[in-house]
Structure 1
Amino acid sequence: MVTGTQREGLGRPCLFSTTLPPSCDCELEGMLPPYLSACLDHVQNLWLEFEPSRKSSRRAATDLLAALAGRTPGLRGLCLECRGEKPLFDAGRDVLDAVHALCGAAGALRHLDLRRLPFSLDDALVLQVAHGCPELRSLFLDNRTLVGSVGPGSVLELLEACPCLRALGLHLASLSRTALEALAAPERAPFELLALRCACPEDARAPPLPDEAWAALSRRHPGLEVELELEPVLPAESVTRVLQPAVPVAALRLSLSGDTVGPVRFAARHYAATLRALEVRAAASAELDAALEELAARCAGLREVHCFCVVRPSVLHAFRARCPRLRSYTLKLTREPHPWRPTLVA
């Protein structure tokens, strides 16, 4: 499906839209719908949805990407999203090969979002993007794969080849101190967003990124926002390495198998000036309630808080009373059927 609907994640707006008709799905394999073939030369920004488990949908998506590679050197933005279930042991080679070819032909590409592809991205794709798309402004590789296959060397080469890059999403293991130093270089264009996902074994084993490197990066780019997403694979010692005081964390998503209270208190004490969105998935406890109340008292700039466990009434009162910029929250006082919907603040 090709859609122009604006979508927003926690703290991160959608970068792509299109005015194309609403579907690229085709039941006749190997054929694109006529209305898509007729307008490919005019496509600049494309959000492409498909179902990898449906052969016709998958074929239509790869055919469309192949056609774009041959006819659309003016493509500026591409976002891919897989819907439904991914077939077991599916490496997505056909899809990734199509993206690889497109990035080799779309020299004007400025925005590439692969967060919603459930396949392991690799160094070859990143290097193709680096050398085929020198005008790149944003690249999101922080997808939900369980294997981190993009090495720090490829990311460093990407930063050197794309001097105008201003937003980057990665798994933690793909980032290095050298990359932080490259981003902090005096000649670097303003850098605005760094999204880090910690969700695979490589992320848990990643070496620490020194606090002084984060401090230098923040001084060089005072408007920088960092998004951190910490998944259950991270042991407590890895969480401690990731949560450095100088990181300008704007959005923090905690879904840990171990202690959550400590990270919430750490955020309250070190990210009060920058934190705008918090998401917590943990078991309910009096200690967590107290930590959330402390965070509400310290983080006056908070705009979103979503806690997926029952909290006591004083937690809700604390956020409503102490966070004047709050626009959306999920703070349930009693257990309700899922999915829990957020409350919008008028």
Structure 2
Amino acid sequence: MAESREQLPQEVLALIFRYLPLRDRAAAAGVCRAWAAAATCSTVWRDTNVSCDSEWEGMLPPYLSACLDHIHNLSLEFEPWRKPSRWAATKLLTALAGRAQGLRGLRLECRGEKPLFDAGSDVLDAVHAVCRAAPALRHLDLRRLPFTLDDALVLQTARGCPELRSLFLDNCTLVGSVGPDSVLELLAACRSLRILGLHLASLSRAALEALAAPDRAPFVLLALRCACPEDARAPALPDEAWAALRRRHPGLGVELELEPALSADTVRRILQPSVPVAALRLNLSGDTIGPMHFAAHHYAASLRTLEVRAAASAELDQALEKLAARCAGLREVHCFCVVRPAVLGAFLAHCPRLRSYTLKLTREPHPWRPTLVA
């Protein structure tokens, strides 16, 4: 195609191209030399989302390969049960590992179901390779990987990514294989870490004390998933250690996700009064009312998000009303069972900062969508 004499500046073209899907970026790069230069510049590729489900096959690898040096933040989605999608994801990560000096953020998300007995070794090997080659990596989010994460990955991240600011390892898996010692080494190596997501069994009193050290950067979020058998057997973390951590980092928020594998005794060990719980997600097979009363009494000042999955009952409604009356700072509340109108009225009356809620007064088809507060 002949070059046009009237051409938008490359900076303007790049701003347009950055909002295009990858397939359209590739098409734009083939129009002319000016468009090709704009479509492959760093402005377009700094923050990149790649879906290996629909955008890759047969077209993207050569084009994307030329732009890997410009990617600073990559969000990668794929379906592990589809071989082409999985192959594309591992190929991209492997290629990125060879040119990851400028990578700042990596988020991986699996969609659909993974094959049975799938350890994800190919995907995890590629993540290892990226962490070895990305010394400037600051954000790593593996919450949506359904594979068992282990000590080797944590240690590789600690040794290869000293500038890390956030790390999420609190994924959905049946086995928790990240030990407390690996987390301690991570905290020692990554002094600027501000956000950490873990399974409860990976956390220890020594880790809380390390986070409370006077020379650490401000720590703002600790996300704890409590779902594996290892989490149920984890020793209690003493309230005084939480209190010391809270004094050191007054802006700290803790997210607690409690799943059916936990017994009532385990839940009582986890819910320490000094934990600054900002988000509480209850999906318990046993007592839900007790944890809600505990939250209303101890977490009234810090609680911002509540999510409850339980059977409808008058006792649950009463607990929700009590919590609404005490937790005025709530921004979100989502209850996945039918509640009586008084519950909705209590949250609307007592929680002036409420932004969205899922409080259904009658049965509706799933999925239930939250209601936004005007």
The one-letter code matched in structure 1 to 2:205 is R
8 Å contact kept, 1:65–1:102: yes
Q: Is the 8 A contact 1:32 1:60 kept in 2?
A: no
Q: Aligned partners of 1:4, 1:274: CA distance in 2, in Å?
A: 40
1:53 and 2:81 equivalent?
Answer: yes
Query: Take 1:32 and 1:51, find their aligned partners in 2: how far apart are those partners?
Result: 17
Tell me the CA shift for residue 38 of structure 1.
Answer: 1.6
1:302 has 2:334 as partner: no
The equivalent of 1:221 in structure 2 is: 249
Partner Cα separation in structure 1 for residue 271 and residue 19 of structure 2: 37
Q: Structure 2: how far apart are the matches of 1:275 and 1:18? A: 35
Within the candidate set 259, 263, 277, 1:249 is matched to 277
Deviation of the 1:300 alpha carbon: 0.3
Deviation at 1:205, TM superposition (A): 0.3
The alignment-based identity, stated in percent, is: 81
CA RMSD of aligned residues (A): 1.7
Task: Show structure 1 runs of 5+ residues with no match.
Answer: 6-16
Give the equivalent residue in structure 1 for 2:354. 326
Within 2, Cα distance between the matches of 1:205 and 1:291? Answer: 28
Q: Distance in 1 between matches of 2:328 and 2:92?
A: 47
8 Å contact 1:311–1:332 — kept in the other structure?
A: yes
Q: Distance in 2 between matches of 1:123 and 1:157?
A: 10
Amino acid at match of 2:145: L
1:35 to partner: Cα distance = 2.5
How many residues are paired up? 332
Instruction: Say if 1:235 and 1:258, in contact at 8 Å, map to a contact too.
Output: yes
Alpha-carbon distance in 2 for matches of 1:74, 1:121: 25
Q: CA deviation at 1:152?
A: 0.3
Aligned-partner Cα distance in 1 for 2:182–2:347: 42
- 1:161 pairs with 2:206: no
Give 5+ residue unaligned stretches, structure 2: 1-17, 22-44
Higher percent of residues as helix: 2
Contact 1:226 1:250 survives alignment (8 Å): yes
For residue 283 of structure 1, what is the aligned residue in structure 2?
Answer: 311
Point out which structure has higher relative CO (alpha carbons under 8 A, 6+ apart): 1
Cα deviation, residue 279, structure 1: 0.1
From the superposition, tell whether residues 38 and 52 of structure 1 become closer, same or farther in structure 2 (CA, over 3 Å). same
Give 1:26's match in structure 2, choosing from 42, 56, 80.
56
1:205-246 deviation per Cα after TM superposition (whole angstroms, max 9, x unaligned)? 000000000000000000000000000000000000000000
Residue 197 (structure 1) aligned with residue 225 (structure 2): yes
Q: Which has the larger radius of gyration?
A: 2
CA distance, structure 1, for counterparts of residue 74 and residue 272 of structure 2: 37
In structure 2, the residue matched to 1:14 is none
- Match for 2:297 among 235, 255, 269? 269
Kept in 1: contact 2:328–2:352 (CA 8 A): yes
Instruction: Indicate the residue corresponding to 1:8 in structure 2.
Output: none
One-letter code aligned to 2:56: C
Shift of 1:4: 9.8
Consecutive aligned runs of 4 or more in structure 1 exceeding 2 Å deviation: 2-5, 17-28, 31-35
Q: CA deviation at 1:32?
A: 5.1
What is the CA-CA distance between 1:19 and the residue it aligns to?
A: 4.1
Matching of residue 206 in structure 1 with residue 238 in structure 2: no
User: When the two structures are superposed, what TM-score results if normalisation uses the length of structure 1?
Assistant: 0.93
- When residues 303 and 119 of structure 1 are mapped into structure 2, their CA distance, relative to the original with a 3 A threshold, is same
